[in-house]
Amino acid sequence: MKNEHKTLIKAAGENALILYFSSTINDKTASKIQCATLKIKQSLSNYILDLTPSYASLLVTFDMYKIDHHQLRNKLRTLLATIDDVQAPNHQHIVELPVCYHEDFAPELPLIAKQASLSCDDVIQLHQSTVYTVYAIGFAPGFAYLGEVNDKIAMPRLATPRLKVPKGAVAIADRQTAIYPNTSPGGWNIIGCSPIIMFDQKATPTMPVNVGDKVKFTAISKEEFFTLGGKFPMFHD
């Protein structure tokens, strides 16, 4: 049987359940979550307020006036049973995103290099050498979670999150990497900055990437960063 793949449904809050599809990051799980998100939208939209898919989970926020957690759990079970083994789609689309790794833009770069016993240039090289998958968009509008970073440069989050991370900051947390689309609090290790706007509510499309896209980073100089519209980032602790 496929017991090891059985989706776990847990309580999150008074009006939210969370579905855990797997405990690891992989393309197959990502496809399964995309499929479940779509199916729930199609058949349970009357009860659902919001859906928050991520790497290996899906948060289902429901309308307490229309359904309770017991009933919803049953409906989700029934629905999940109809999701066949979904194959990972074959994405060819690669979005290239420029990053300036200059030391002025990369407060945690030396820290990661030291921990990995590598030079800063090696860390920059390794960060660019992977073609990443967009596993989720969340935390803030346009914040794309990219996986997976080379194990050597993986780094745990800061013990105390920064109150302000500048717009465009490129950062690492464990084996995830991302670009901060706007100034916000955050606990990831910053290794560079990108001048690309990751979320523009007036633009079409709103975001340069979507869940499932492939992303590659390319190093640019400080001059190129400013030419591409980048603003000098301010770092606070």
Looking at residue 137, its amino acid is I
Give the residue with the Cβ less far from other proteins, 62 or 105: 62
Give residues 56-75 in contact with other proteins (rule: CB under 8 A). Answer: 56-59, 61, 64-65, 68-69
Nearer to other proteins, 56 or 190 (CB): 56
Q: Can you point out the beta strands (E) in the chain? A: 8-13, 16-20, 48-53, 57-62, 94-100, 132-137, 144-147, 162-165, 169-173, 176-179, 184-186, 189-193, 214-220
CA-to-CA distance for 108 and 192, rounded, in angstroms? 9
Vertex 49: Cα angle to 138 and 167 (nearest 5): 20
End-to-end CA distance of the chain: give it in Å, rounded.
50
Measured CA to CA, the distance from residue 37 to residue 146 in angstroms comes to 19
Q: Is 174 in the site for other proteins (CB under 8 A)?
A: yes
List the structure tokens of 146. Answer: 């990219």
105/180 with CB nearer other proteins: 180
Window of 16-24, 78-86, 100-108, 219-227 that interacts with other proteins by CB under 8 A: 16-24
Return d(Cα 70, Cα 87) in angstroms, integer.
Answer: 30
Q: Which residues pair with 144 in a beta bridge?
A: 137
> Can residue 229 be called a binding residue for other proteins (CB under 8 A)?
no
**Which stretch in 11-19, 89-97, 119-127, 213-221 sits in contact with other proteins by CB under 8 A?**
11-19
**Footprint of other proteins on residues 18-47 (CB under 8 A)?**
18, 23, 25, 37
Residue 181 CB, nearest distance to other proteins (Å)? 8
Note whether 169 binds other proteins by CB under 8 A. Answer: no
Q: Which of 123, 128, 234 is nearest to 183 (CA)?
A: 234
Which residue, 139 or 235, has its beta carbon nearer to other proteins? 139
Contacts to other proteins from residues 92-131, by CB under 8 A: none
Q: Can you tell me whether residue 235 is helix, strand or coil?
A: coil
Residue of 153, 196, 207, 220 interacting with other proteins (CB under 8 A):
207
The Cβ of residue 224 has, within 10 Å, a number of other Cβ atoms equal to 13
- From the list 1-9, 114-122, 124-132, 178-186, the region that binds other proteins by CB under 8 A is 178-186
How many whole angstroms separate alpha carbon 85 and alpha carbon 101?
Answer: 40
Give least dist CB 217 to other proteins, A.
19
Q: Between residue 133 and residue 162, which ones bind other proteins under the rule CB under 8 A?
A: 136-143, 145, 156-157, 159-161
What does the binding site for other proteins look like in residue numbers (CB under 8 A)?
10-16, 18, 23, 25, 37, 49-59, 61, 64-65, 68-69, 136-143, 145, 156-157, 159-161, 163, 173-174, 176, 181-185, 187, 199, 201, 206-207, 211
